[in-house]
Amino acid sequence: MMAARFKPLGPLHLGAKQVAGVEDIGGDLVAHLPTPSTALGALAYIYREAGAAGGGTDALQILGCRAVWGPLVEIGGRRYFYAEGRLYRVEQLGEYLSCAKGEGQSPRAEGGVRAYEKPGVRLGPEKAVENLYHALFTYINGASPGEVAFLYYIDCERAKPIKTVARLGGEGRAALVEVDQDPGGPKQCSEGVLLSPLLFYSEGPTAEVGGAKGLEEVEEVYGVCGEKGPKVKSTYVGLGYNMAEGRRRAVYQALPPGTALKLKTAATNVGLHKERGYGSVLCKDQKNKP
């Protein structure tokens, strides 16, 4: 597989979904890390500009991807996984799993993601002001942009070693993108922690583990480890904006990154759109060194 590293050149705006309601007009919710859709969109643009991409408007088709997994966070030679705004060393995964199963205390986080709000002005075709809005920008607390990399492993037919600057997320934000061969990669396991949202669908107010679409491969959801113990949470995640088609993609129910779970059979990814990198599972013996 190849390693795709996204090194932000500043705080990022990573839209998760639009917010409805009068009190939130012009607002949005953001992801703290680049989602698989954001990463694939950036890579598709890079390789299309380099003349190395296939046709179509779907990133998987453009890149010829067979598998995507991530993201891990790299800072100063170490790798971390994300949960509820905090970063934990990969070596702490065993402690984290014990906490999520109610068998131990939460490990000490070694960093976190912070966000700040910035106002903006949306202009129309004639450069007239259409409306005001506010946008949230995120960054890794205590680390300079040049020290941080968001790591995805990709198995894509048309991906070749490359190093370039590309747009990442919204509001004109960019990152240095480096793609190269890497001997590491994801491992299959039946117990681990989600690095990216696990997407699922249920027609009712509840979703049956092992039965709802996207949860068929899941045997048990332990939850997210917190200071007050484990808690099962769900959220909504949008798959972003398709610039090629000029429309927003679907919004799904999701188990958030940091959710510990047990699978019926060993896998690297689970849930809906797992081929795009959603539902990536980190195993206890995952390689930690870059």
Q: What is the DSSP string of 144-197?
A: -GGGEEEEEEEEETT---EEEEEE-SBTT-EEEEEEEE-S-----EEEEEESS-
Residue 29 covered by a domain:
yes
Residue 216 covered by a domain:
yes
Residue 198 covered by a domain:
yes
Enumerate residues 6+ apart whose C-beta is below 8 A from 78: 89, 90, 288
Residue 71 covered by a domain:
yes
Dihedral angle computed from the Cα positions of residues 247, 154, 15 and 166, in that order, rounded to the nearest 10 degrees: -90
In the numeric block, the tokens 């705080």 are attached to 11
Residue 288 covered by a domain:
no
In the numeric block, the tokens 């190395």 are attached to 52
Per the structure block, which two tokens stand in for 214?
């996207």
**Bridge partner residues of 235 (DSSP):** 254
Distance set, CA 11 to CA 46, 89, 143, 146, 171 (Å): 21, 22, 11, 11, 10
How many structural domains is the chain composed of?
1
Residue 259 belongs to domain spanning: 2-282
**In a structure prediction context, what are the per-residue pLDDT tens digits for the chain, which is 290 residues long?**
999 999 999 999 887 755 544 444 455 678 899 999 999 999 999 998 888 777 787 899 899 999 999 999 999 889 999 999 999 999 999 999 999 999 989 999 988 999 888 877 777 777 776 667 778 899 999 888 789 999 999 999 999 999 999 999 888 899 999 999 998 889 999 999 999 999 999 887 778 888 899 999 999 999 999 888 899 999 888 877 665 566 677 889 999 999 999 999 999 999 999 999 999 999 976 555 55
Per the structure block, which two tokens stand in for 141?
């607390």
- 192 contacts 284 by C-beta, under 8 angstroms: yes
SS3 46: helix
Give the per-residue pLDDT at 247: 65
Give the per-residue pLDDT at 127: 73
Residue 287 covered by a domain:
no
Residue 222 covered by a domain:
yes
Q: What's the angle, vertex CA 255, arms to CA 249 and CA 259, rounded to 5?
A: 140
- 43 contacts 35 by C-beta, under 8 angstroms: no
In the numeric block, the tokens 């061969």 are attached to 181
Give the per-residue pLDDT at 17: 58
Q: What's the angle, vertex CA 104, arms to CA 103 and CA 105, rounded to 5?
A: 150
In the numeric block, the tokens 């919004």 are attached to 251
Q: Which long-range contacts (CB under 8 A, 24 or more apart) does 45-49 make?
A: 45/166, 45/167, 46/162, 46/164, 46/166, 46/177, 47/158, 47/159, 47/160, 47/162
CA-based R_g, the chain, Å: 19
Residue 290 covered by a domain:
no
